[in-house]
Homo-oligomer: A and B are copies of this chain.
Amino acid sequence: MEKVLIAGQWREASASSSFQAANPATRELLEPQYPVSNWEDCDEALTAAATAAAALRNLSGSQIADFLEAYANDIEEHAEAIVDMAHAETAYPKETRLAGGEMPRTTNQLRQAAAAARDGSWALPTIDTATNIRSVYGAIGPVCVFGPNNFPLAFGSASGGDFAAAIAAGNPVIAKANSSHPGTTKLFAECAQRAALATGMPAGMVQLIYRTNHADGERLVSDARTGATGYTGSRQAGLKLKQAADLVGKPIYLELSSVNPVVILPGALAERGAEIADEFTGSCLMGTGQFCTNPGLVLLLAGEYTDQFVKAITSKFAEAPVGTLLSAGVEESLASNLQVLVNAGAEMLVGNAAADAGRFCYANTLLKVTATQFLSDAEIMQTEAFGNSSLLLVAESVDELAKVVSILEGNLTGCIYSDSTGTDDDAYDQIASQMRMKVGRLLNDKMPTGVAVSAAMNHGGPFPATGHPGFTAVGIPGSLLRFGMLQCYDNIRPHRLPGILKDESPNGTVWRNVDGSWTQANLT
């Protein structure tokens, strides 16, 4: 049985059961066994995290940055082992996805987070000299991170976006591994623990448990010692955690589900239909469709060019190799959610059948509905079928298309393709005004997959895409704000102010809002 990392020690878990990951390419269970921790492990992790949180408040952003950079370096030294393990646990291709994609994204993200911690501008320091009131976002306390199955590296609970943001904001992290890739998470935690020791971080800076039962998960996110939680995963499990945390006012940031509507207007199809068919197929089948921003709902207007487009992508889906899915659970959910859509009246264009029995997978699938069908059963029709599938909707008019967009649930992204000469512009305006309120990120002429780690990124959106439309899970420094509390200092004696709020800038680089203007200068 693998050991958990609690209070700086790799130790036997307090566990009453265990689980194993599986190799998606063979359906075979992988050694070793990982513990399902009892509350005792959670409790001890929380105590250690609270102690670490107090210690971290006495460290500078620069010291935390040292840790994050040492961690990124350590990951790079162990990259091959991590990639091997992640490949075994996820079946993602090593070169193009893991080593060449997620790995540099992960270390870059940690280094960007380090730079943000060192600089401090993320915390929006604000000084009102007339009243001598000063405020800044400060560390919120221990952060629990529940990572998703689909990004073992770049969104891993001990290595990814939530982790980097929580640490850079000055908080210790309790990582709950995803059951699809516990071994990968363990390797990251080993790197983190080495880096923490090397840079003098408190024990309990990064802790790892692999799994708990649901009740203990709910206790964890609502415990008095917890500061906040980041969760990416299934809507059902997430909503239970949200309810527990909300009841006691503990911030919880969740990424729950998103079908990512893509509107393709007729002028765009007339102009470059074949190109868009390639783009869509690539975006929808890449990574076997296992992206939060997978284009799961394509909105089209009835007509000749749409018929051609549907025909083209149907062929492409039939011909494209069938990718491997992450787990038996993903395979089962994909099949059953597609069945929900079919039961509601969606027409099967291609796929919707079991594929290779020797691995986790399901045929590349396209379903089709009319706007009338969709509108008559809108909640069911928005069922997310996570994986290599998409639902096409064909409307009879722009008004009908706009009506569909207006009743959508919240989504992470929404795309609109239009032609370059302006014939689609009236339709664009009508649809975009509805779409804008339904999505966190609006795109033109571009598929939604590919989430740049940019300061202007919003990987978020209205419920149920996330739990609050004001926050992003990707992008630095924005994502750090989730893990800060607003701390105001009123008439505090100058020597007692935190460095970032003293008259003299701590580093000459931090942007501070002084009497309404942003400046990097000292107060005069």
Contacts and interface: CB of A to CB of B under 8 A. Distances in A.
A38 to B, nearest CB: 26
Interface string A222-236: 000000000000000
B141 A454 contact: no
B133 A456 contact: yes
A469 interface: yes
Q: Please tell me the size bucket of the interface on A.
A: 35 or more
A444 B485 contact: no
A121 B124 CA distance: 13
A458 interface: yes
A485 B466 CA distance: 12
Given A455-B516, A516-B455, A468 B249 contact: yes
A214 B456 CA distance: 40
Contacts of A462: 249, 485
B442 A487 contact: yes
B249 A131 contact: no
A45 interface: no
A488 interface: yes
Given A440-B487, A518-B518, A251 B468 contact: yes
Nearest to A436: B487
A299 interface: no
A491 B249 CA distance: 37
A490 B432 CA distance: 13
Given A54-B433, A133-B454, A457-B133, A249 B467 contact: yes
A71 interface: no
A203 B413 CA distance: 31
Contact of A456 (B134, B137, B445): B134
Contact of A457 (B135, B456, B492, B511): B135
Contact of A446 (B410, B456, B491): B491
Interface stretch (A8-16, A239-247, A268-276, A342-350): A239-247
B135 A456 contact: yes
Interface stretch (A28-36, A96-104, A470-478): A470-478
B458 A135 contact: yes
Contacts of A410: 249
Interface in A188-243: 242-243
A249 B466 CA distance: 8
A243 B244 CA distance: 10
Contact of A464 (B243, B249, B513): B249
A246 B242 contact: yes
Of A433, A443, A446, A487, most buried by chain B (CB within 10 Å of CB) is A487
Nearest to A246: B246
Q: How many copies does the complex hold?
A: 2
Interface string A154-170: 00000000000000000
Contacts of A354: none
A491 B121 CA distance: 26
Interface of A is mostly: mixed
A147 interface: no
A477 B17 CA distance: 52
A251 B470 contact: yes
A441 B134 CA distance: 10
Contacts of A516: 121, 455
A140 interface: yes
A471 B486 contact: yes
A380 interface: no
A489 interface: yes
A262 to B, nearest CB: 13
Contacts of A243: 246-247
A9 to B, nearest CB: 25
Given A246-B243, A463-B250, A486-B469, A433 B57 contact: yes
A291 to B, nearest CB: 15
A460 interface: yes
A81 interface: no
Contacts of A486: 440, 458, 460, 469-472, 478
Given A251-B468, A251-B469, A433-B54, A488 B455 contact: no
14 contacts: A131-B454, A138-B436, A246-B246, A248-B463, A249-B463, A249-B468, A251-B470, A445-B493, A446-B490, A469-B486, A470-B481, A470-B484, A470-B485, A472-B488
Interface of A: 54, 57, 121, 126-128, 130-131, 133-135, 137-138, 140-141, 242-243, 246-251, 410, 413, 428, 432-433, 436-437, 440-446, 452, 454-458, 460, 462-464, 466-472, 478, 481-482, 484-493, 496, 511, 513, 515-518
Given A121-B516, A251-B468, A445-B493, 8 more contacts: A126-B455, A126-B478, A137-B470, A249-B410, A442-B490, A444-B491, A470-B486, A511-B518
